[in-house]
Amino acid sequence: MNNNSLVTLSPEVGDAIERRLPIVAMESTIISHGMPYPQNAETAKNCERICRENGAVPATCAVIGGKICVGLTEEQIDYLGREGQKVTKASRRDLPMLIAKSMDGATTVAATMIAAALAGIRVFATGGIGGVHRGAETTMDISADLEELAETPVCVVCAGAKSILDLNLTMEYLETKGVPVIGYGTDELPAFYTRKSGIKVPWRSDAPEEIAEAIRASKELGYPGGMLVVNPIPEEYSMDADVINKAIDDAVEEAKKKGIKGKETTPFLLAKIKDLTGGESLVSNIQLVYNNVRLAARIAAKL
């Protein structure tokens, strides 16, 4: 059981930890910054339901009133959904001051990994990770998610890096940091909205139990960091690569013109892409998250 005074476990998560049941961590940025209310809260609750249906206990994470909450009530999920972007988007750098000021924060991939690790949870499901942004050679805009993967022992299941990023440089960065990257049923990095990017991943696995064994091996080897499992979006929800890539290029160009930088970049680009694709990208986004939760629950069950 976690004894950190800054971490609050829900009764369900606390019981699951004591009984050594499979648990999957989930982020809360998707609730507050990912989509409008009530769709955001409904999506989060569906993720929890899918997690349970596949044999694991869900642990949605957030900072509420200065406490790192691992496992949220339905009321807390609704609260984050209603407050939306008024809630601080919380990465590693934000946690100390959110705690000090007793504020609320919706956890990104990096912050959720920290919360999961504090609670002893080894598997985390999300949509897509952050990475190296396009033009990073001049802006130095690189997501804290990549450093967290190198430092924090949590396996992140995602649909690849968001395709608004420079995917080649993102993979190079992960390689430099020694982060194991495993394609689930694929030999190449999925590009979030689409199943293919043309970029090879170093390892492929077709079995959740094999990935669970790799997580065990990583721990026994004393690796300090986590690993990344990339899980392609289901075929029926995969978008046409030309359509989505044009929408991304147009959105990136507009962000440049408006001078949007840092952690405001991803929410702006995703909202703009949603508008440019007539909402199709949001449907794809939701379905790929559900798909990742299913896989993460199966991996956790094998641990």
Rounded CA gap, 38 and 232, in Å?
27
| Torsion region of 15: left, alpha or beta (phi above 0 gives left; psi -120 to 50 gives alpha) | alpha
In the predicted structure, residue 82 carries a pLDDT above the cut 60: yes
Give yes or no for a contact between 298 and 165, defined as CB atoms under 8 angstroms apart. Answer: no
Q: Which H, E and C letters describe 99-139, residue by residue?
A: HHCCCCEEECHHHHHHHHHHHCCCEEECCCECCEECCHHHH
Rounded CA gap, 250 and 247, in Å?
5
Tokens linked to 86: 């008024």
Rounded CA gap, 214 and 108, in Å?
25
Lowest mean pLDDT among 14-28, 141-155, 203-217, 248-262: 248-262
Q: For residue range 17-54, what is the model confidence (pLDDT) as tens digits? A: 999 999 999 999 999 998 889 999 999 999 999 999 99
Share of the chain above pLDDT 70, in %: 98
Q: φ and ψ at 23, to 5 degrees?
A: -135, 140
Rounded CA gap, 145 and 199, in Å?
20
Catalogue all structural domains in the chain, each as residue range(s) with its CATH number: 1-121 (3.40.1790.10), 127-303 (3.40.1790.10)
Catalytic positions are 27, 162
Q: For residue range 55-69, what is the model confidence (pLDDT) as tens digits? A: 999 999 999 999 999
Q: Is the N-terminal amide bond of 224 cis, ω within 30° of 0?
A: no
Rounded CA gap, 87 and 188, in Å?
35
Lowest mean pLDDT among 83-97, 134-148, 224-238: 134-148
What pLDDT is attached to residue 118? 97
Closest CA to 78 of 33, 45, 112: 45
**Which of 192 and 139 is assigned the larger pLDDT?**
192
Structure confidence at residue 83 as a pLDDT band (50, 70, 90): very high
DSSP state of 25: E
Rounded CA gap, 227 and 218, in Å?
9
Rounded CA gap, 115 and 2, in Å?
11
In the predicted structure, residue 1 carries a pLDDT above the cut 60: no
**How many Cβ atoms from other residues are within 10 Å of residue 256's Cβ?**
13
What pLDDT is attached to residue 2? 62
User: 132 has which bridge partners?
Assistant: 142
How large is the average pLDDT for residues 235-251?
85
pTM score over 0.85 = yes
What pLDDT is attached to residue 263? 65
What pLDDT is attached to residue 171? 97
Q: What is the mean pLDDT of the chain?
A: 93
